[in-house]
Amino acid sequence: MLIKKRNLFFLITFLFQLTIACSPQNRQGENWTILPESQARETGIADWFAQNGESTGYWTPTEKDVLVVENEVGFFLQENSDAFRLQESPVWERLDEYNRQYLGIILGEKKII
């Protein structure tokens, strides 16, 4: 579970940093986009998380997959608030100010968004 939380922390941090290329107001007023497998592969992010020679790969999340993450990201940020309190107001209170990019990586046999 510790590895999973650590990976999720790094992935969310990375996604927040990738806001430049995301078009605002993408879909139904939401500020997110899905990177297809080919673009995800170009980032090389899966290699950041691989441990002990673990195999890596990429996949394209569906809109349904991303909506699950979107519904939970605020709760995750609140539960891990110590890592995300770099500014005066909490990040989870300002999610609408951020654009988000989602991509799928495969670590071993696990698919992660």
Mean pLDDT in order along the chain per 10 residues (113 residues): 59 54 47 89 86 86 92 87 70 82 90 92
Token pair listed for 73: 């990201």
Record the tokens describing residue 57, joined without a space. 């790969």
Beta bridge partners of 106: 57, 111
**CA 46 vs CA 49, 111, 112: distances in Å:** 5, 11, 10
Distance separating alpha carbons of residues 4 and 112, to the nearest angstrom: 9
What is the per-residue pLDDT for 58?
94
Residue numbers of the domain that contains 81: 2-112
Q: State the Cα–Cα distance between residues 87 and 44, nearest whole angstrom.
A: 29
Whole-prediction pTM value? 0.67
How far is it, in rounded angstroms, from Cα 57 to Cα 24? 28
CA proximity to 3, closest of 108, 104, 91, 90 = 108
Domain count, the chain: 1
